[in-house]
Structure 1
Amino acid sequence: MDVFETFIAKAVLQTSVDQLAIVGGTLYVSSENAEGLANLVHPNSSPRAIEQLLAEENKAILISRQSPTVADNHIRKLLSMETNYLQSVMENTYLELDQNRSFFSLQESVGKSQTRANEKRDLKEREIDLRKEISSLRVLISKKTRDAETHILESNLLIAKLKDELTEAKRSTKGEEEFVSRLERVRESERVALFDEEEREMVEKRDNYKRDIEYEHRVTVEIESWLNERRSHLKELLQFWIEKSKVDIATKEGQLQELIANREADLKRKEEAEQRLKEARQYVEAELVRREQIRIEQEEQAVQIKTTVRIQAWWRMMMVRRGLGQFKKKKTNQPEPKKNGLRK
């Protein structure tokens, strides 16, 4: 990323971090109001498995059902957790942009979010498979129950039939009545004991099946309730973040347009300043050339004046020596004084 893009990204991240800090401050939950809630950790910042995190979240949801205040505090805590995690990601991205002009931490956070989403999707698929298996077990249990009831009914019919046959045999035979009655009683007692044993086993199996069915039904209802609540909560979060992202995008687009306009105005002022600087440099250079010419002329003029003064002084000296012009000596009739008998 170049310097300008880094500057824009840092400004956007800084503004987002400030807004998230404000949101986190408004969602603050005191320790007294948060009493009884689980210490929830954001899935992307926890190395534990998604099943453990969802189990703790489900436990926190069950605790939050105690009262509307606890539920409201739980929602505030979830929103605060999301806000703090997003704020920490943006702060790390801001520091990385400031130091290295890169955003690998943001990419890593997005990768963790995608991984957690894939894990949740796999968990939902496993849940669907378990529901299908539960449905098949319910069908099997109902089939076994019907078979057991049919078998009990057939056994009762067989017992009734045997009793009728026994009564008919008593009417038809008199000599063997005692033997047959004893034999039939023994057989009947054996059959009854056998049927009673089978009936007890079937009743026990039926009771076990009923308990299993009730347990599976209760677990299924709890899972469905939790999933519905979780889905509604995630929908609310999704709607909140969509609206917030729209508002943030509109705000950042306005700020970006303002920055672009300011940049164009700065570039225009820069061009004007460069033009004025160029003109000033040209003026300074011309002024320096002019002053240099003036200085040279003044030096030449000073040299000429000095030369002229010397020439004039020399000429006056020559005029004085030779007695020329106004320094010419006047002639007199008096002889010149003698010196040592000689004329000068």
Structure 2
Amino acid sequence: MKMSLSRIQSLSLAAVLKDCSDQLDIVGYTLTVQIGREQSTAESQEKARLTKLRRDCQYISQQVSKLYLELEEKQSFSSLLQVVEEEEQRREEENKRREAMRELEQRKHTVMRLDEEIIQKNKKLKDMDQQLRDLEQQLTEQSSQIAKEKKLEEKTIERELQKTQLETMQTEKLLEDKLELVQVKLKEEKRVHEESEKFLQNRHKELQQLLQQWQQSTKQMLQEKEQQLNSVSCKRTVNLDRLTEMRRKFREMEQVVMEDREEQEKLRQQQAEVKAATKLQAWWRGCMVRRGLGSFKKAEEGKKGKKKKKEGKKKKK
């Protein structure tokens, strides 16, 4: 599944991943220096742990670099999903291998225990066989002794022979009973082993089903997280677009307000200039009228002539 991102998102994520890759390189170098300082044998476990941690850092750094290149070139992160799937497969195979090794180890211990029990039982049988041989040897000695004393004590020898044969039969019967008991015990142990093996197989199937359920739930959670990431990315893109549009409108409104202020300032200045000019003209006209300057001087002289003529006519009367 290929997940595409916008150019801005891919560049942002690529910058973050580049920083993470640099930090991982620094951590790897620090671990290398620290591993070089671990010289004593008592700190071998710590050195092994640091070596494993350094390998993990190098692996993560490589995957981050691949993801960085993919985001920068293709604006997607499909390699990350592929790495996650490979890691899940590797863990599943590792768990299967460990389970198989554990089961094999258990079977091995069971077989070894059965072998030890069989060896002990064989040893007991050998001891019984040795006792039987000793008895046979004793019987042979007794038979030779009876042969020497046959002529003298035939009846006694016959009785001894009968007694010896009876003891031999009892011994053989005892050995047969013990052998049958051993065979019964072996059959019982074999049955217990088969039941244990069947139980382990059933348990293995149950664990496999549980593992599949966990894998399905993990995949479902991963899909939900991807959907949430996509929705958050879409909302972030929409919010960025809205913010850009609002900034543009704000700049336009601010420009309109500034232009309106400038126009009002110009209008106010023009009104002030007109008012000042009107006042100045009124003041100047008053000065001209009071002093009789310019056109106002002729008008004043005409008025004075008319006044003189009126006064002359009044005197003639």
TM bin (shorter chain): 0.3 to 0.5
Quick check: which one's helix share is greater?
Answer: 2
